[in-house]
A and B are shown apart, each in its own frame.
Chain A
Amino acid sequence: MSNRTTIDARNAFCPGPMMEMIAALKTIAVGDEIEVLSSDKGSANDIPAWTRKVGHQLVSSDDHGTHWSIVVRRMK
């Protein structure tokens, strides 16, 4: 079972959801997950694309209307 850490970055203007996620990935073990809650559409698009590009795993990306919930698993 992977450990999951949640970052509530809704209305977090700076450094924002994606920067928070990149930073958090550096603090978890390979195989563990970060869930980011984001109200920023740009991050909701960018995080999945970036995750695939650098070789982490996108576990889920859900639109909850007021915000997105994106889960990424660290793969390396």
Chain B
Amino acid sequence: MTARLLIVGGGMAGTIVANGLARRLSHELRSGDVNVTVLGTSNDHMYQPGFLYVPFGRVRSQELKRQERSILDRRINFVIDPATHIDVDANRVVAQSGKSYGYDYLVIATGSRLVPEQIPGLTEGAYHCYDLEGARKLRGAIDAFEGGRIVINVNAPHKCPVAPLEITLMLDEHLRDRGLEGKFDITYTYPIGRLHSLEPVAEWAVPEFDRRGIKYQTFFNTKEVDVAKKVVHSEEGDSFEYDLLITIPPHRGAQVIEDSGLGAGGWIPTNPRTLLREGSDNVFVIGDTTNIPISKAGSTAHFQADTVVENLTMMVQEGRWSREYDGKVFCFIETGLSRGTYIWFNYKTPPRPTPPTQMVHWFKLAYNRMYWLSACGLL
């Protein structure tokens, strides 16, 4: 009998799993003992970390987009048919076309979505760079900016925890390079009592902000944006006037997760080590869509995908388990337009950032280009 492996979501995690399986299970795919199908929403595969460079004109949009079909191993079935209901009791996924996809093993990798509409006025009043369209609009706003008050407003939860700091530092440098020094001020707002959720990163950011004159307000959870008056208010009772408001919008998991009753807010209860959905022994959950208290980042998705590939391969080939996920996350941090640093941590080892260097910045730029090799399963 053919083992049916179904992956819902052809983003970073889903694509890495599919290509990893194609490599590891090449024999079984050839013999017909296994088939692997990816259900996606479109043929566009976006490299999201690249959005960060769009507002500063440092990347061309075309560089950030590839056809999913061209990245996926040709032995993988790729179907553009968004899932509308995931029925883990019946081992099947119903999709928009009305078709039902049965599986023996399921991997849910539907990522997260932006929900600025949860905060009154945020959609109308703020710019962001968390999708390509948003990043392009932000570029227009930054190009037109001639000075004034900028508020960078961070909301929880959001993916890529370091992006808010990166965009702040990059914007400061970009505006200075444009000769606007002294004509603008930046205020950065953050939901908890420090500048970043990682304590060592927050400690590193304070002198970095002070040196550049970037102001900050901690314990700022956005209540609403008064678009007419250009004021952003917090639940805690603080307010800031702005000329340019840049937000990291709050996120939720994919709509299909909520519609299928698989997790509040679209986040699926997932075992942090096995990556199995709580209550299932044939449903893996990886990437942004888990409820694991860990950074929602591409590197998380990648390391989790590697673990799931190992385990699925072992289960198919030998009927046994291979290894557990150790909580590894790795993030580059751009500290301006020419320097960077990085952090890594796992469930046991806390992060320790090192001083920024030009070398790490070049590494991150190189990785941005090598991403396609890694998604293809070549790196």
In the complex, which residues of chain A have a beta carbon less than 8 angstroms from the beta carbon of B236? 50, 53-54
B interface residues (Cβ-Cβ under 8 A, vs A) = 118, 156-157, 161, 191-194, 197-199, 219, 221, 235-237, 250, 252, 264-265, 267, 293-295, 329, 345, 347-348, 350-351
In the complex, which residues of chain A have a beta carbon less than 8 angstroms from the beta carbon of B219? 50, 53
Bound: A17/B295 CA distance, A: 12
The answer to whether A14 and B294 touch across the interface, beta carbons within 8 angstroms, is: yes
Considering only residues 17-72 of chain A, those with a C-beta below 8 Å from chain B are 17-20, 22-24, 26-28, 42, 46, 50, 53-55
In the complex, which residues of chain B have a beta carbon less than 8 angstroms from the beta carbon of A13? 198, 345, 350-351
In the complex, which residues of chain A have a beta carbon less than 8 angstroms from the beta carbon of B264? 5, 24, 27-28
Give the nearest-CB partner of B199 in chain A: A42
The answer to whether B295 and A15 touch across the interface, beta carbons within 8 angstroms, is: yes
The answer to whether B235 and A14 touch across the interface, beta carbons within 8 angstroms, is: no
The contact of B156 among A8, A22, A42, by CB within 8 Å, is A22
Other A-B pairs beyond A14-B329, A15-B293, A23-B250, 17, CB < 8 Å: A9-B293, A11-B347, A14-B161, A15-B156, A16-B192, A18-B193, A19-B156, A22-B192, A23-B157, A24-B265, A26-B118, A27-B265, A28-B264, A42-B199, A46-B193, A50-B192, A53-B236
Give the nearest-CB partner of B348 in chain A: A11
Bound: A9/B197 CA distance, A: 13
Lowest 5 CB-CB distances: which A-B pairs, in order? A27-B265, A23-B157, A12-B293, A27-B264, A15-B197
Taking the closest CB of chain A, its distance from the CB of B271, in whole angstroms, is 11
Most buried by A among B156, B161, B294: B156
Bound: A8/B176 CA distance, A: 43
Bound: A55/B221 CA distance, A: 13
Give the nearest-CB partner of B263 in chain A: A27
In the complex, which residues of chain B have a beta carbon less than 8 angstroms from the beta carbon of A54? 221, 235-236
The answer to whether B348 and A15 touch across the interface, beta carbons within 8 angstroms, is: no
In the complex, which residues of chain B have a beta carbon less than 8 angstroms from the beta carbon of A28? 264
The answer to whether B221 and A20 touch across the interface, beta carbons within 8 angstroms, is: no
11 A–B contacts from the bound complex (CB under 8 Å): A5-B264, A13-B198, A14-B345, A15-B197, A18-B191, A19-B192, A22-B191, A27-B264, A46-B193, A50-B193, A50-B219
The answer to whether B293 and A7 touch across the interface, beta carbons within 8 angstroms, is: yes
In the complex, which residues of chain B have a beta carbon less than 8 angstroms from the beta carbon of A18? 191-193
Taking the closest CB of chain A, its distance from the CB of B160, in whole angstroms, is 11
The answer to whether B250 and A19 touch across the interface, beta carbons within 8 angstroms, is: no
The contact of B351 among A7, A14, A20, A24, by CB within 8 Å, is A14
Give the nearest-CB partner of B115 in chain A: A26
Most buried by B among A5, A27, A46: A27
Give the nearest-CB partner of B266 in chain A: A27
Bound: A55/B191 CA distance, A: 15
The answer to whether A26 and B193 touch across the interface, beta carbons within 8 angstroms, is: no
The answer to whether B235 and A15 touch across the interface, beta carbons within 8 angstroms, is: no
Taking the closest CB of chain A, its distance from the CB of B232, in whole angstroms, is 16
Bound: A54/B351 CA distance, A: 30
Bound: A42/B295 CA distance, A: 19
Taking the closest CB of chain A, its distance from the CB of B339, in whole angstroms, is 21
Bound: A3/B45 CA distance, A: 39
